[in-house]
Structure 1
Amino acid sequence: MTCQLIADCLDEILEYLEEDWLTLHSCLLVNRLWCELTVKILWRNIWNFKNFKNQITQLRAASSILSTLISCFPNESKELLYKNNILISPPTSKPPLFNYAAYCRVLSTYGIDKIVNNVLDNKSLLNHKRDLVANEIFKLFASQISSLKKLIYHHNDYYYIDFSFNYFPGAKDLSELCCVSSLPSNFFYQLSQVCNNLQSISINIINGNISNELKELISLQNNLKNITLIAFHGNWSEIIPVLMKHSNTLIKLCLYSDDDNLPLLFISLFPNLQEILLSFPNIFHIFENFKEFEASTREFKDFKKLQYVNFPKLQTLKIPFHCPKTEYIINFLENNGKTLKKLYISRSDKVISLSVANFCPNIKSLYIIFKNDELDILKTIFISCQCLESIKITCGIRHLNKKKVLETVTNYSPKNFHELKIYSSSYSDISSEDLESFFISWKNRIPKKLLTLIMIKGDFFTSLDMKIIKKYENFGIIKFKIKRWDDEEEEEEFFKGLY
């Protein structure tokens, strides 16, 4: 009983480290109990390896995952690989310590694709051999997973993974599905027969191809809460009538497209929405000039009517790329700003910024773009939005000065403010003395609050800077991070949506 209590407590502690892979890996070496509990967490969603920024680290992780999975293959699968002259050595000559595949709760054909291509990327392996390896990996997961929570399933240009429910009992517990609309209709039919409790569905609509079986799958869900529609090669008009069945349960709606003339007015038919994301980039412009992208105004004809619709439960609004007209956004905020907790608009517009101060008193997390002469507007927002806890600010030549931003944060930010993200459009314009002065000022603030300071892109810190930062981290004044991308940045979300 005591041993079980220790295991339960340790499991709770390790859960907090789910996103910290380096720390979790160190926990593997403590003892057998720590190792077993850590392995379950690490293998719950092993596809996170693709988020490693270092390509060498990605390749090592992919190779390790592949060899471990092959060591778990049944003999018939190992023999099949051997007969086809596919030789992949297991990590050790000993049998695997755990049934790793059984711990998986997220299954991704995209992840399998990355593993196969990262590790087997050579001319000696023909496509049909990669096809064979990918399908054997999928069959292993399908036969071992007892309770699948999330499935990411899409076509691959090189091979096709055969998904069959005859050997996939774990799909009955599925709560999240990400797929392309062009999958075989039989897949959607089989899934609809065993799975009626999907809470989240993300569909990449290809060439307007939406089968009746896909519509039926959506219709049969009992408590659908989140819908993501991606239509860079199609139109979501055909799927809208099916969504109406879930008008009372839907709380999150994400729309991705490069066509701002696609219908948007249907959003008004979901009165309980808590989050709306409208991502309409010019995809070619993104690839050409991704770093300096700023949203511009687009037509958004349907938003002209949507601006007057009230969503009484709306807490999050994200418009990360092109925006509707300024007056539309202002009217929308006037109608819905009181309930908003998070606002993300990649648009430099003085009037919109002031409307946040006027209409969004309960905002907790904010990202809007200020020009270099709009420091007073930032002060106004801090004074008016006393619930604000986190803000992301772009600094650089055409934007606010970093030193002045830090001074403004210290002097005007609300008492519960605790997270500052600075997106650098150019290299740092702040000295070591300025940095330390800011930390001292924050230390003397009342009430005292640990500040998470996140620098995103473009910054270069000297050894003296880092020494000062470390000093105040040790004092418990700040928590400091440098990131290439912001975890919540909608540019990344956009690419995730495309799988």
Structure 2
Amino acid sequence: MVQLYADVILLIMLELQDDLSSLHSCVLVSRSWSRIAVPFLWKYFSCINGFTYNRDRESRIKLYKVIANFLPIESENLLIKSNIILPSYKLPRKPTFEYMNYFTQITPCWIKDMVQLFIEEDSIYKKNLLEVQIYNLIFKNCKNINHFYLNTDIKFYNFPSVGSFFLNLQSLGISFENNIVTSKTLLELSTICQNIKILEINYCNEDSKGLASFIEMQHDLRYLFLHFINNNNNKNKYPLLSNVIKEKGCHIKNIFGNTTYRSWFIFKFNKSTTL
């Protein structure tokens, strides 16, 4: 009967997994409900996007308070020295759940949202400092990430725990929007992240040496998405990318891209590839 009861709760959670308010209410029902609902709630937050910011502000603040509680004492002291006092739940003992392990995706959306909600003053230094501490926490504590979306200028590749975090990562998104991600960042990343199977590139507008090197270093790249923002038909604008993709063409199962470059890529590949 106990297992049947748990299975019923699980079915309910599957129906409510996209309803933040209901998930939060389920956590408060009982210990049995909480044990099953908490992973769904945190998985929901791990997939948070910009459209979610228009609602559930209080629920997001509650989540961020829990995350702030996991910041190491070194980070807390560093923030305090810069007059950054974060609201958090001071848990009296070890938490019932390893909350950070329930994150399955990391996107910059919720990180930037947390920074904006906690630091309302217009201080770029303070916001950058908090963002660094959040990323450092993620690399140390999140053990079950299957997708990471890169859109930051933070030199995260210097963090102590970053190697183990990226070692087994299999899905990565990279955004070149506003030129935040640099070629140097990707060159550094290519030395510690080499097992990507799914790679998504957005807002690509240059023949990046770092991006070409990163693609070249992947051992088992299967799916590649390329979105170019330059819509001219200069097919020779991206020689580094075209050459490295040609070399990887025999291993990549599917390649997706703008219609502008579709015929160009087909011509470059050595075998039939789905676009």
* TM-score, normalised by the number of residues in structure 1: 0.46
1:33 corresponding residue in structure 2: 32
Closer, same or farther: CA 271–24 of 1 in aligned 2, 3 Å: farther
The one of 138, 142, 145 equivalent to 2:139 is: 142
The one of the two structures with greater contact order (alpha-carbon pairs below 8 A, sep at least 6) is 2
Query: 1:186: Cα distance to partner?
Result: 5.2
The residue matched to 1:43 in structure 2 has which SS?
A: helix
Closer, same or farther: CA 190–67 of 1 in aligned 2, 3 Å: same
2:253 corresponding residue in structure 1: 250
Closer, same or farther: CA 34–252 of 1 in aligned 2, 3 Å: farther
2:167 corresponding residue in structure 1: 172
Q: Please tell me whether residue 231 in structure 1 is matched to residue 228 in structure 2.
A: yes
Q: What is the aligned-residue RMSD (CA, Å)?
A: 3.3
1:90 corresponding residue in structure 2: 88
1:421 corresponding residue in structure 2: none
Which deviations, in whole Å up to 9, do the C-alpha atoms of 1:235-274 show, x marking residues without a partner? Answer: 5553122222134532241328xxx4x563323646241x
Query: 1:28: Cα distance to partner?
Result: 0.9
The residue matched to 1:203 in structure 2 has which SS?
A: strand
CA distance in 1, matches of 2:2, 2:110: 36
Query: 1:139: Cα distance to partner?
Result: 0.8
Residues 62 and 119, structure 1, Cα contact 8 Å, conserved in 2: no
Instruction: Flag structure 1 segments of 5+ consecutive residues without an equivalent.
Output: 277-499
Query: 1:171: Cα distance to partner?
Result: 1.9
Structure with greater helix percent: 2
The one of 65, 70, 73 equivalent to 1:75 is: 73
Closer, same or farther: CA 28–161 of 1 in aligned 2, 3 Å: farther
Query: 1:76: Cα distance to partner?
Result: 1.9
1:432 corresponding residue in structure 2: none
2:152 corresponding residue in structure 1: 155
Query: 1:61: Cα distance to partner?
Result: 4.0
CA distance in 1, matches of 2:97, 2:6: 17
Q: Please tell me whether residue 216 in structure 1 is matched to residue 213 in structure 2.
A: yes
% identity of equivalent residues: 22
CA distance in 2, matches of 1:4, 1:132: 46
Closer, same or farther: CA 161–189 of 1 in aligned 2, 3 Å: closer
The one of 241, 244, 256 equivalent to 2:243 is: 241
Closer, same or farther: CA 163–32 of 1 in aligned 2, 3 Å: farther
CA distance in 2, matches of 1:154, 1:54: 18
Structure with greater strand percent: 1
The residue matched to 1:201 in structure 2 has which SS?
A: strand
Residues 110 and 154, structure 1, Cα contact 8 Å, conserved in 2: no
The residue matched to 2:227 in structure 1 has which SS?
A: strand
Query: 1:54: Cα distance to partner?
Result: 6.5
Counterparts of residues 469-488 of structure 1 (less than 5 Å):
none
CA distance in 2, matches of 1:85, 1:203: 37
Partner amino acid for 1:271? S
